[in-house]
Structure formats: structure tokens, C-alpha cells
Structure 1
Amino acid sequence: MSINVFRCTHCDTTLFPARYLCPSCGGAEWSAFEAEGGTVTAATAVRRRVGADNGGDIHLASVATEAGPIVIARLDSPVEIGDVVSLALDAQHRIVARRD
């Protein structure tokens, strides 16, 4: 499942997540389109404590989508700043990124 970003039909501001009103012009009409990928702008790992369920680190990245908005995505392995990744939603509706 892909993720959607939203573009204001009045001023073309693109954002994620959706909002009721555009922060740039106050418009309330949006068009949605898929954000299939982007570029990693920051990455980190969240250390899980010993003995926690599903042990291991959780890798996260800030991804600048092709459309502009930045999203936070889970990763299955570490990435580097500048890596190009594809974006999708997993079964729990979390944004996940995979290196292309």
C-alpha cells in the first residue's frame, strides 16, 4: 500500500499528513497523490532494552519525498544520508522505506 501526500488546489502547497486548512493560504480543498519514494535526509536507530519483545534496533529515517514533504519511515536495515528509498505502508499502517 502506498502513501499519499496532499496538494492544496488553491496555492499548490504540498504537505503530509493531511490538514483541514492549508497553512499557506487557508484553502480547504486538496488533491491527493502517491509518494512512491524519496531521499534520506537523516537516519537514526532506536535501541531496544535487553529482554524486550522483538529485540534489536528500530531504524528510522527522515525521507524527503519526490513531492516535497518529509516523512518519518521505519527501515529494515540501516541507510545513509542521500540514499534513495521506496516508500509504502505496512500492515500496521506505518510508513516503511526500502533502499532501491
Structure 2
Amino acid sequence: MDLNVFQCTDCQLTLFPERYICPHCGGTHWRLVDAGVGIIEQLTRVVAGTEKAGGEPVVLATVHFEAGAFVIAQLGEAMAQGERVRLQEVGGGKVIALRA
């Protein structure tokens, strides 16, 4: 399932995760919008305490979307900064970045 982000219905600020109050306009109503395609802005390798089966470290990406939201996701495969990705929610709150 592709990831949805939250857009303030008053000012259209797009965020993830949802907030109680919009930090831009103070609005309290949100609508779900498809995150679409984003660009990997940063990569972080997490080694201690998060190793996958086989001893591989977990690689997290900060992904920036055209709508403005930033989302941190685990890479589903090896990728580089600047690559275009789509995000999928895979259960338990886990978000995976896959090539677009």
C-alpha cells in the first residue's frame, strides 16, 4: 500500500505524521493525500541494535516530496542520494522506500 501524507485543509501544508494542530496556520483538519514520488535527501546507516537477519545494517532515507512532506523510511534495496522513490507502508508502522 502506497504511503499517504496529511495535508492541512486550511493552508495545504503537507506533513507526516499527522499533527493535532497545523504548525503553519493553526488549523485542525487534515485530509489524506498520496505521497507520490519523492527524492532521497539523506541516507543514514544504523548499525547497533537494528541488524537484519544476516548481519546487515539498516539503511534509512530521508525522503522529500513535492508536496513538501519529509518522511524517514527504510530502504528496500541499495539506493543513492538523489534517487526518486515511492514509499510503501508494510505494517506495524514500517515504511519502505522503493525505486519509482
Please say if 1:38 is aligned against 2:38: yes
Q: What is the rounded CA distance, in whole Å, between the counterparts of 1:48 and 1:42 in structure 2?
A: 19
Question: What is the count of residue pairs matched by the alignment?
Answer: 98
Once the two structures are TM-superposed, the CA of residue 40 in structure 1 deviates from its matched residue by 0.3
Query: Which structure 2 segments of 5+ residues have no match?
Result: none
Residue aligning to 2:93: 93
Within-5 A mapping of 1:13-92? 13-48=13-48, 54=53, 55-92=55-92
Once the two structures are TM-superposed, the CA of residue 76 in structure 1 deviates from its matched residue by 2.7
What are the superposed Cα offsets for residues 3-23 of structure 1, whole Å, 9 maximum, x if unpaired?
Answer: 211111111211111011111
What percent of counterpart residues are identical? Answer: 40
Structural RMSD (CA): 1.8
Q: What is the rounded CA distance, in whole Å, between the counterparts of 1:44 and 1:99 in structure 2?
A: 17
What are the superposed Cα offsets for residues 39-88 of structure 1, whole Å, 9 maximum, x if unpaired?
Answer: 00001211246xx6622110110000232111001013332111111111
Q: Which has the larger radius of gyration?
A: 1
Query: Which structure 1 segments of 5+ residues have no match?
Result: none
| Alpha-carbon spacing, 1:86–1:21, altered in 2? closer, same or farther (3 Å) | same
